[in-house]
Chains A and B, each alone.
Chain A
């Protein structure tokens, strides 16, 4: 007779809401007549995402003392809940953009989107190696399909396949690493691993270190940090831009939230190893991301490399491995995900208007033609570059503070130099939209689409990114309570 654990349904309510939404959206693909399908499925998806925000906010309020639930498989704490809030908000924004931008299979798209969001919200709360791997595959498989969903578009199928093949490497690394760690400690629970390592003096054990290295590599794949970033530019470029927007914001949030959790909970004894490893990965991401972005002409590729470089900045906070670093990572993710999502959404609007890939050349004059989207992109670019026009500035300040606090002034200097390099290509985008005379463009036909919901999503991203510059203290308080759930 198998003992079933007690199930705290409330702890997984966000996941259930999203999964329920996914189920209904999938049914609507079959049952709802074609002309209503887009409306019904997008309303269902938006409702589910909003419901997810509500339950995760509620969980945040109600989980002051974090603990693991359901047979120690899942953490109910504020770190999980705050990451879930960001994930659900990103999902909602994706629904808004996708309801206008996705051309076909929209009901299936929303079903996959919600399924993947459910996987991510589970991933950030994973408490053992098994749930970690399962939820990683859960959201990854949904993402593979989403990348390829416009299979008649050039690049979409290729992007899906590439992501599948390379992503499987990452997953395999994570799984193999988990197996080695289990082999070394005989435990799968994060907290139990740390206990076993402490109790049996396993710190520095070859199997354990090898397993940790593979887990680090697997997570670096998912967070697209160099040198595990090779798939990122191609996949970001080829995937439908709505999906890219979702991936560049939500996947990063999920990967970094779990990364800090698993490292601090399961491997506190190996901190000296993984903080150096992540410092190295951070430097590699900053160097490769920024220098490769300098020569890009395709805006989606440019933003892809920019997302690699931002992974580097966030990893500075991870590498510090302190409570300040945890706060820095959580804070950084909020304006970052808003800016990343917003800038890809603006690109999506331009792409739809032109009916072709967006390059720096055909972005010319965009700022004057679509004033709101232009101003938004202006804010996002300067925010990415760390100028005080948004919370990106405070985020950078925080990760630098965490690195200095850890005693790594050299990492601060690397970050500062990387920011300087990044300025060149971010300014290049601003130059393209405002300072070049509009090229002779063949518009896709007729007046540009109105994209009302896209404007709403971009506006929300703008409010979050600018608001996080002014409302630093409240957000940091949230992040501090979240980081207090982790054992620092």
Chain B
């Protein structure tokens, strides 16, 4: 097996695992074990890939290019740049934790459930490594298929409405993107992202950005977010906000900004403003949200806004910070939603009015939640601080007022995270918190602690990502030079 096929293995191994789970008549336990094993194998392959990755080299690595639809010049072209490598890493690590969580809580209908989770893993990895527009679109859409069923079958009471809203919203964006892809690809004669010349068309750019803005989501395209994040099973919400939402911001970086340098410059102010709106409005909503998941959900929207500011600042620092923040926030929100799931399992609810006082006698839960809170409110020294600082510094270079708005978002983050911690852990004991509600168990710790450990490593060495996301010293040159 050559090195370059690693990327394809990362996509198709979970798909093969899903097929195996659907075809073989395995027991509940064997099904879950197989799924966890496959997801761990993914992490292993990714580590091997990261170890072999040459961060100094420009251009695509681990790439594979096979014709798919020959006469329209569409190809199965996959490969990784530095920043795609990190997002793939985020995907496989977060998916492993979430699949493990599903195994730990013992989801009903295990064969369907684990098969779909693996399918989701493959599709999401595909989004981050696809180097052909139609292939990117195919994976982008393929993520929806398992998500629809995962939310609709294993979700909460109001799941049916939530799934319809989620799917119609995101498909509306991505179908516009399909039209943009058809027009762009046929106009330039290739669908290959590496070879396609840049385009000056503002309409095509906006077609792509609509899809990414809904996925991220940015204000005012976030209508699907609260329902989907509240009704999905916690580990699926974790994937949605930690990984799938990053496909939106990744798309902005890889396609919208790279392939459309002129239109993205033209609309810079618009998207900086939308990012700022998402940041401030999302933070305010998070501060007002009445439940655990609501806070984390809206804070994800705020973080997507911040990342968008970093990307559309169009500065070296902004790009570096955006990639770091995508990974850091992905890990934070995955862990937070898993903790939310753990709390809900013990108390049957995430309503703040019913929770409280959980710190007493539950040291592991308290330590984890406080650590995560501290990281996510960007205390100096944390990974999120490094990411946000780089983004704000980049935004400052564009214009000082973007940095001011961004900084206000950071202040708001402190408010809603402290409110969350206090409402869950401190204050008087809530009516649904019984003495019998256990601390986090070894199984749960084994899932969440590695994520937090990864965050601590990133806190200690943020440059691990921020100076290894783009080859060369200047990300802007790398992006404008289309990563060639």
User: Which of A's residues lie within 8 Å of B, judged by CB?
Assistant: 327, 368, 375, 378, 382, 387-389, 393-394, 397-398, 400-401, 404-405, 409, 412-413, 416-417, 419-420, 423-424, 427, 430-431, 434-435, 472-473, 476-477, 480
Q: Are A431 and B68 in contact (CB under 8 A)?
A: no
Q: Find chain A residues with CB under 8 A from B148 CB.
A: 427, 430
* Besides A412-B179, A473-B69, 18 new A-B residue pairs in contact (Cβ under 8 A), listed by A number: A375-B22, A378-B149, A387-B141, A388-B137, A389-B145, A397-B72, A397-B182, A400-B178, A412-B183, A420-B168, A420-B171, A420-B172, A420-B175, A427-B163, A427-B167, A430-B148, A435-B149, A435-B153
Q: Find chain B residues with CB under 8 A from A434 CB.
A: 149, 152-153
Q: Are A435 and B178 in contact (CB under 8 A)?
A: no
Q: Find chain B residues with CB under 8 A from A398 CB.
A: 72
Q: Find chain B residues with CB under 8 A from A382 CB.
A: 145
Q: Are A388 and B70 in contact (CB under 8 A)?
A: no
A427 to chain B: closest CB distance in Å?
Answer: 6
Question: Closest 7 CB pairs between A and B?
Answer: A388-B138, A435-B152, A416-B175, A472-B69, A416-B179, A400-B182, A473-B70
A88 to chain B: closest CB distance in Å?
Answer: 26
Contact-size category for B: 35 or more
A393 to chain B: closest CB distance in Å?
Answer: 7
- Residue in B137, B145, B164, B167 with the greatest tally of chain A CB atoms within 10 Å: B145
A394 to B76, CA, bound (A): 14
A382 to B148, CA, bound (A): 11
Q: Is residue B20 contacting chain A, with contact meaning CB distance below 8 A?
A: no
Q: Is residue B454 contacting chain A, with contact meaning CB distance below 8 A?
A: no
**Interface majority SS (helix, strand, loop, mixed), chain B:** helix
Q: Find chain A residues with CB under 8 A from B144 CB.
A: 387
The one of A401, A419, A424 in contact with B175, judged by C-beta atoms closer than 8 angstroms, is A419
Q: Which residue of B lies closest to A476 (CB)?
A: B71
B125 to chain A: closest CB distance in Å?
Answer: 15
A266 to chain B: closest CB distance in Å?
Answer: 27
Q: Find chain B residues with CB under 8 A from A375 CB.
A: 22
Q: Are B72 and A401 in contact (CB under 8 A)?
A: yes
A16 to chain B: closest CB distance in Å?
Answer: 35
Q: Is residue B411 contacting chain A, with contact meaning CB distance below 8 A?
A: no
A409 to B178, CA, bound (A): 12
Q: Is residue B56 contacting chain A, with contact meaning CB distance below 8 A?
A: no
A427 to B152, CA, bound (A): 11
Task: Check A431/B182 contact, CB under 8 A, given A416-B175, A420-B171, A420-B172.
Answer: no
Q: Are B152 and A431 in contact (CB under 8 A)?
A: yes
Q: Are A416 and B176 in contact (CB under 8 A)?
A: yes
Q: Which residue of B lies closest to A368 (CB)?
A: B109
Q: Are B186 and A404 in contact (CB under 8 A)?
A: yes
The one of B139, B149, B172, B178 in contact with A397, judged by C-beta atoms closer than 8 angstroms, is B178
Q: Which residue of A lies closest to B152 (CB)?
A: A435
A5 to B10, CA, bound (A): 62
Q: Find chain B residues with CB under 8 A from A401 CB.
A: 72, 182, 186
Q: Is residue B285 contacting chain A, with contact meaning CB distance below 8 A?
A: no
Q: Are A413 and B109 in contact (CB under 8 A)?
A: no
Chain B residues 154 to 189 lying within 8 A of chain A, measured CB to CB, are: 159-160, 163-164, 167-168, 171-172, 175-176, 178-179, 182-183, 186
Q: Find chain A residues with CB under 8 A from B160 CB.
A: 431, 435
Q: Are B168 and A423 in contact (CB under 8 A)?
A: yes
Q: Is residue B361 contacting chain A, with contact meaning CB distance below 8 A?
A: no
A434 to B109, CA, bound (A): 11
A-B contact pairs, 30 of them (CB 8 A): A378-B149, A387-B144, A388-B138, A389-B142, A393-B138, A394-B69, A397-B69, A397-B72, A397-B134, A397-B178, A401-B186, A409-B179, A412-B179, A413-B179, A416-B175, A416-B178, A420-B168, A420-B171, A423-B167, A424-B168, A427-B164, A427-B167, A430-B148, A430-B149, A431-B163, A434-B153, A435-B163, A472-B68, A473-B67, A473-B69
Q: Are B71 and A327 in contact (CB under 8 A)?
A: yes
Q: Find chain A residues with CB under 8 A from B71 CB.
A: 327, 476, 480
Q: Are B183 and A409 in contact (CB under 8 A)?
A: yes
Q: Are B141 and A404 in contact (CB under 8 A)?
A: no
Q: Which residue of B lies closest to A367 (CB)?
A: B112
Q: Which residue of B lies closest to A393 (CB)?
A: B138
Chain B residues 104 to 119 lying within 8 A of chain A, measured CB to CB, are: 109
Q: Find chain A residues with CB under 8 A from B182 CB.
A: 397, 400-401, 404, 412
Q: Find chain B residues with CB under 8 A from A473 CB.
A: 67-70
A408 to B148, CA, bound (A): 33
Q: Find chain B residues with CB under 8 A from A393 CB.
A: 138, 141
B181 to chain A: closest CB distance in Å?
Answer: 9
Q: Are B70 and A476 in contact (CB under 8 A)?
A: yes
Q: Find chain B residues with CB under 8 A from A389 CB.
A: 142, 145
Q: Find chain A residues with CB under 8 A from B163 CB.
A: 427, 431, 435
A480 to B69, CA, bound (A): 12
B11 to chain A: closest CB distance in Å?
Answer: 13
A397 to B69, CA, bound (A): 11
Q: Are A404 and B183 in contact (CB under 8 A)?
A: yes
Q: Find chain A residues with CB under 8 A from B69 CB.
A: 394, 397, 472-473, 476
Q: Are B149 and A400 in contact (CB under 8 A)?
A: no
Q: Which residue of B lies closest to A424 (CB)?
A: B168
A459 to chain B: closest CB distance in Å?
Answer: 12
A9 to chain B: closest CB distance in Å?
Answer: 35
Q: Which residue of B lies closest to A470 (CB)?
A: B68
A450 to chain B: closest CB distance in Å?
Answer: 18
A2 to B182, CA, bound (A): 56
B155 to chain A: closest CB distance in Å?
Answer: 9
Q: Which residue of A lies closest to B171 (CB)?
A: A423
B348 to chain A: closest CB distance in Å?
Answer: 21
Q: Mark B129-153, 1 if CB is under 8 A from A, else 0.
A: 0000010011101101100110011
B182 to chain A: closest CB distance in Å?
Answer: 5
Q: Find chain B residues with CB under 8 A from A327 CB.
A: 71
A469 to chain B: closest CB distance in Å?
Answer: 8
B14 to chain A: closest CB distance in Å?
Answer: 16
Chain B residues 422 to 457 lying within 8 A of chain A, measured CB to CB, are: none
Q: Find chain A residues with CB under 8 A from B137 CB.
A: 388
A259 to chain B: closest CB distance in Å?
Answer: 22
A400 to B144, CA, bound (A): 22
A390 to chain B: closest CB distance in Å?
Answer: 11
A431 to B145, CA, bound (A): 12
Q: Find chain A residues with CB under 8 A from B176 CB.
A: 416
Chain B residues 319 to 369 lying within 8 A of chain A, measured CB to CB, are: none
A400 to B142, CA, bound (A): 20
Q: Are A400 and B152 in contact (CB under 8 A)?
A: no
Q: Which residue of B lies closest to A400 (CB)?
A: B182
A396 to B138, CA, bound (A): 12
Q: Find chain B residues with CB under 8 A from A368 CB.
A: 109
Q: Which residue of A lies closest to B71 (CB)?
A: A476
B148 to chain A: closest CB distance in Å?
Answer: 7
- Residue in A405, A435, A477 with the greatest tally of chain B CB atoms within 10 Å: A435
Q: Find chain B residues with CB under 8 A from A420 CB.
A: 168, 171-172, 175
Q: Find chain A residues with CB under 8 A from B171 CB.
A: 420, 423
A398 to chain B: closest CB distance in Å?
Answer: 8
A389 to B149, CA, bound (A): 14
A368 to B111, CA, bound (A): 11
Q: Which residue of B lies closest to A479 (CB)?
A: B71
A419 to B172, CA, bound (A): 9
Q: Which residue of B lies closest to A473 (CB)?
A: B70
A398 to B134, CA, bound (A): 12
A420 to B172, CA, bound (A): 6
Chain B residues 1 to 37 lying within 8 A of chain A, measured CB to CB, are: 22
Q: Find chain B residues with CB under 8 A from A424 CB.
A: 164, 168
B67 to chain A: closest CB distance in Å?
Answer: 6
- Residue in A327, A368, A387, A413 with the greatest tally of chain B CB atoms within 10 Å: A387
A397 to B152, CA, bound (A): 28
A476 to B163, CA, bound (A): 35
Q: Find chain A residues with CB under 8 A from B175 CB.
A: 416-417, 419-420
Q: Find chain A residues with CB under 8 A from B178 CB.
A: 397, 400, 416
A160 to chain B: closest CB distance in Å?
Answer: 38
Q: Find chain A residues with CB under 8 A from B134 CB.
A: 397
B32 to chain A: closest CB distance in Å?
Answer: 18
